[in-house]
Each structure stands twice: as structure tokens, then as C-alpha cells.
Structure 1
Amino acid sequence: MAFADIHTVDTGFVRPQFDAAYLLVHRGRAAFIDCGTNHAVPRLLASLEEAGIGAPDVEWLILTHVHLDHAGGAGELMAQLPHARLAVHPRGARHMIDPSQLWAGALAVYGAEVMEQAYGQLRAVPAERVVEAPDNFVIDLCGRPLRCLDTPGHAKHHMAIYDEHSKACFTGDTFGLSYREFDTAQGAYILPTTTPVQFDPEALHASIDRLLSLKPQAVYLTHYGRLENVELLAGQLHQHIDAMVALARQVDDGTADRHVRLTQGLTEQYAAQLAAHGWQGSRDELLHWLGTDIELNAQGLGVWLDRARG
């Protein structure tokens, strides 16, 4: 069952139904989970009005991790929320207080023009408003406990949030990606994300199992939306992680075209999985929806291989 007090906010990043933030409202108080980029702030503020509350009623902005599609707008949003505190994994707190390293890292990958267009300038959050949330840290939203769970595998500074009230987990990127364009009569298609630079398959398997142990009725993915049938999807994620790792090891033979072979192999894997899922789109459509993820996942697998080699 869906909960009317959990609002999905499409941040508008990249395309519709690609990047979500969530607004939880309880007894007249509210918390955001993730926030998208600077360009999402007007949408987030509009969601407050739609929910019948105001910016002063927001007590928390909770970040699953500090990748810019989840946290790039944190400073700008916090400037609009006079009473809110920001909760973040201890490994990510310094990047909210001083986002210069985050900016520099992304700038090196994307370039100044893309960074400005996609994300906008990052704004620091005052240190006194940042709360480090270690494993099992509980945020009290007006009597509604939100438990922060250390869930590495996608990133070392990743946490998921378990909401006992709704029996749901807000999973950031730990529980993979699921785009509505791939929904079929069989339900949702899901795939892991190995975005560079901290992919760790063993840790990701363990994090997924930890979330599953809570027996959530639903998971809320940043990419994208609420999903049920959690146990089934977790099994598929485990299988897909193993398949991606097997592919990476297979192509890691010292040849110069490793990245090309990774992207080709991932494309074949996803095409086969989607065909089995009953999706009838073309190869061009698959690349349209998954092309960026294929590239990032190939990069992440390459970094993992190099790190494992030492």
C-alpha cells in the first residue's frame, strides 16, 4: 500500500522519471530524502506547498550519499529551509561543508559547461547545520523514527533510510536503478549501478541482503520511484551483480580494448535480461534509455578491476 504522506518529487534531472527526491510529512513536520541538483530546488519548494506545509516546517534534509544527482542542490535547498538540519553519512559530511572537492572531481569528468548546465554551482552548508549519521543513527521526525543504515557497495559513504511507519526503505543507489520505460506485465526491471569509483560487489551484495532482512513492503529508488515485490527484485540484483562481475573478469586480459568490450558486454547482458522480462523495444531504444548507465557501469567495473589488481 502506498502512503499518502510520502511524496515523490521528480527533480527534472536528465529526463522525466529519472531522478527522484522524496518528501515525508508527519504531524505537520517534514523531511526531504535526497534533493537532486540546484535546478531541482523550485520543484522541491513547490512540493511543500502541494503538501500543505511551508519551508519552516522542514526539519531535515537526509542524503543517501553525496553524488551530485542526489546531493548537488543541498546547499541551495538548505538556504531556503530555515530550521532544517542536514543528515549525511560521516564520510560525506565534509563534502557538504566544503564541496570544492566534489566540484573538482566532477569538473574533471564533465567539463565546466556541462557542470554549470547540469548542476549549477555547488553551495556549502554551514557546519553547524550538518549532522553526521553513523550506522543505526535514528532521526526523529516528530515521533516518526527514520533509521540510517550504512549500505556501502555503490559508494563507501552511502546510507539507506528505513521508515518503520511505512515499512519502506529509501535506498538511494544501493538497490539499483529501475526505469519505468522498462515496465512490463512482469513488473519492474532492475539493474545494479557500478558508477565509479567505489563499486564493491561483496559489500553491495551484503547491503542488499541487509535491506532485505528488514522485510520492507516497498523500496523507494532515486532512479526511479516506489517498487514492491522487494524480495524478487533483490534476487534479480544479486544475479545481475554476479553477471557483471563475471563479464569484467572475462575481459580483463590486458588488451587495450577492455572498456569497449565491457560496454558491449553490458549491452548484451541488458538486452538479454530485458527480452526475458518481456520488453519488446529495439536496440536503439535500449541504448537511448541505458546508454549513459552502460558507460558509467563500464567505467566503474574498470576502476574496480584496477583496484583489485592493486
Structure 2
Amino acid sequence: MGHSPYQTLEHAITCIDTGYQRPDLAACYMVEAQGELAFVDTGTTYTLPVILKLLEARGLTTDQVKYIIVTHVHLDHAGGAGALMEKCPEAQLVVHPFGARHMVDPTKLTAGATAVYGEERFRQAFGRLIPIPQERVIEAPDEIVIELGGRSLLCLDTPGHARHHICIYDDRSKGLFTGDTFGLSYRDLDTSKGAFILPTTTPVQFDPAAWQATLSRLSEMNPSSAYLTHYGKVSDMNRLADDLHQAIDDFAEIALTVEPENRCAGIQKKLWEWTNNALMKHGCSLGEPRLKALLAMDIELNAQGLDVWLQRREKEQARQPG
């Protein structure tokens, strides 16, 4: 038996493994209502065959896709949006107003990611980003509601991880599709205490104060569960929100107290120490090689994002009078 990329959840929601980097790292979701379909996040261009195969297996067609919703325009979430839109002639793209222009013209996204990864790694990870016609894009300001076969999907402006981030509250499941706003939680790290959660402080717009406010707002909605891009459904919402509040504070504190010399490497070292300690308290018994395989990329990106946040703070402080 191979690893199935599809997991059927309740409330006509399907979790799809996008195939990014490794199994069970990045998901997107298909939502069904009265013959209409929406996808929340898309994975990369390489996820397209996985999505098309799911539609075929379920006896569904690309014409039934009404919305393709991207929580934000980071490429593990939205890199495949253009390719999927090409295949779904009736679909409209739903995206935060700050992210819309990058979906219409992905030149800057390509350039930015290529600068980070190099051309070869960029191509291997993401393929080619395909522009989406402006007239097929719906900009989603805070609290816009889109209707899917009588099912209301409420789009919320949720800064903290990224300024161009939306979460989607689904009135049918009472759940939230959270992109990266509710952190990451890999099923390999589950224990008898439940899910383990980590912030995603990846470059370039980490904002701890905004994120804390966003988390409080989401908690006030009393959602039944969160559908995470990284990875899958989690339901112990109050505890996980508390854990995430604390972790965001801790990560910011780590960044602020690391010595300036080799700062990014210093932050990365401290994040590993924090994570290993937190996992031990959580009852996780995985060995170091397995933890490195699961978390090395995330810890590295988190350290980079915290370093960028510090650089931005320093520039802002330098501009202050006096």
C-alpha cells in the first residue's frame, strides 16, 4: 500500500497532500456543496495532476470548480493557482487584496523565490508560475462572504505570518482554513497529549503583535477545528491557541536576545533547543534524525524570518527621531 494523497474528512472536505518536499508536509483542501467545488490553497504547479486525479476518481469535473482560494501567495500555498485556474474555466481566484497583483503578474514572486532558492531548486520545487487574468480575480477584504452551493465561506484578514493572509471560516463545519496563521502541526509529532504546534515565522512579514491579535480574534469565533496547510485537521483549539500564543512570544524573545554576530545561525540553534525541549515535554519520543527530517526546513526558514523581522525593526528604530 502506497501513501494515499487524499483523506476524506467530514462536512464534504477532502485533505489533499500536495506532494511538496515530502509526504504529509503541505496540504490543500477541496470543499463540496450542491455540485459546486472550491479549493483552499493549491500547492505548487506539480500538484495539478494530483487534483485532477481526485476529480476524476470522484466523478467530478473541472467545470464544477467555482472558487480557488489562496490563503496567501507563498508558493507552497499558491504556486499552483495559475495552472489550476487554466484547467477550471468557471473558477474565480479569491485572494487577499495585497496578494492579488502577484497572482496576476507573478514576476516578483518568481524573482524573489529564485533569489532564495536558485534557479534549479526553484524549478524543481515550484515549476513555472502561470499568470491569472485580472478579470478572474476576486480581491477578498476582511469579512467578505463567498457562497458555495448555499455554503457560506467567510474570508478574514489575518496578518501575523504574512500581511496578505486570509483565513476562511466555513459555516458548515464551523472550522477554519488557516493557511499558516494557526501554525504548523505535523501528525508525526502527535502524542497522547494530542497535536504539537509551532509558529511559521518564515520570511518576510512576521509581525508578532499582529499575529497575537489575529489569534485572539480567531479564538473568539470558537471554531470546532482548524484545517492547516501544514498539515491536516486539528481540533484541540483552545490548548493549541494558547500554545501558539506562547510560542510566538518565545520565538520573538529568542530573536531579540541572540548575539548580533552570526545572528541567523544563532537564532536557528536556539529554535532547535526550544523545539527539542517543547517536544520532550509533549512526550514525543522521536529520535534526532527523524526530527531533523521533519523540521529542519521549517526551523531554518523560521530563523531566517526572525532575522528579517529584526532587520526591519532596526531600520524602523533608526528612523525614529532623537
TM-score by length of 2: 0.94
SS at match of 2:199: coil
Which of 301, 305, 309 aligns to 2:310? It is: 305
One-letter amino acid matched to 1:58: V
1:291 equivalent to 2:293? Answer: no
Structure 1 CA distance, aligned partners of 2:59 and 2:31? 12
Which of 165, 168, 181 aligns to 2:175? It is: 168
SS at match of 1:92: helix
1:103 equivalent to 2:110? Answer: yes
Identity fraction in percent: 51
1:248 equivalent to 2:255? Answer: yes
TM-score by length of 1: 0.97
Residue number in structure 1 paired with 2:3: none
Deviation at 1:4, TM superposition (A): 4.3
Which of 262, 273, 281 aligns to 1:276? It is: 281
Structure 2 CA distance, aligned partners of 1:95 and 1:47? 28
Contact 2:183 2:244 (8 Å CA) reproduced? yes
1:181 equivalent to 2:210? Answer: no
Which of 42, 55, 60 aligns to 1:48? It is: 55
Residue number in structure 2 paired with 1:191: 198
Kindly provide the CA deviation profile for residues 121-141 of structure 1, in whole angstroms up to 9, marking residues without a partner as x.
110001110110100011111
- 1:4-153 to 2 correspondence within 5 Å? 4-153=11-160
Kindly provide the CA deviation profile for residues 221-275 of structure 1, in whole angstroms up to 9, marking residues without a partner as x.
0000000011110000011111111111111x43x22122111100000000000
1:264 equivalent to 2:269? Answer: yes
Structure 2 CA distance, aligned partners of 1:281 and 1:63? 33
SS at match of 2:168: strand
Deviation at 1:50, TM superposition (A): 3.2
- Segments of structure 1 that go 5 or more residues without pairing to the other structure are none
Structure 2 CA distance, aligned partners of 1:85 and 1:209? 30
Deviation at 1:47, TM superposition (A): 1.9
Contact 2:11 2:172 (8 Å CA) reproduced? no
Structure 2 CA distance, aligned partners of 1:51 and 1:161? 24
Kindly provide the CA deviation profile for residues 275-308 of structure 1, in whole angstroms up to 9, marking residues without a partner as x.
0000012223222211111111111111111111
One-letter amino acid matched to 1:107: T
SS at match of 1:165: coil
Residue number in structure 2 paired with 1:205: 212
One-letter amino acid matched to 2:302: N
Kindly provide the CA deviation profile for residues 75-127 of structure 1, in whole angstroms up to 9, marking residues without a partner as x.
10000001000000000000010000000000001011111111101100011
Kindly provide the CA deviation profile for residues 49-84 of structure 1, in whole angstroms up to 9, marking residues without a partner as x.
333321100100001000000000111000000100
One-letter amino acid matched to 1:79: E
Structure 1 CA distance, aligned partners of 2:257 and 2:57? 51
SS at match of 2:87: coil
One-letter amino acid matched to 1:213: E
Structure 2 CA distance, aligned partners of 1:158 and 1:140? 20
Q: How many residues are treated as equivalent by the alignment?
A: 308
Structure 1 CA distance, aligned partners of 2:55 and 2:237? 29
- Segments of structure 2 that go 5 or more residues without pairing to the other structure are 1-8, 316-322
Structure 2 CA distance, aligned partners of 1:294 and 1:229? 24
Moved more, 23-32 or 285-294: 285-294
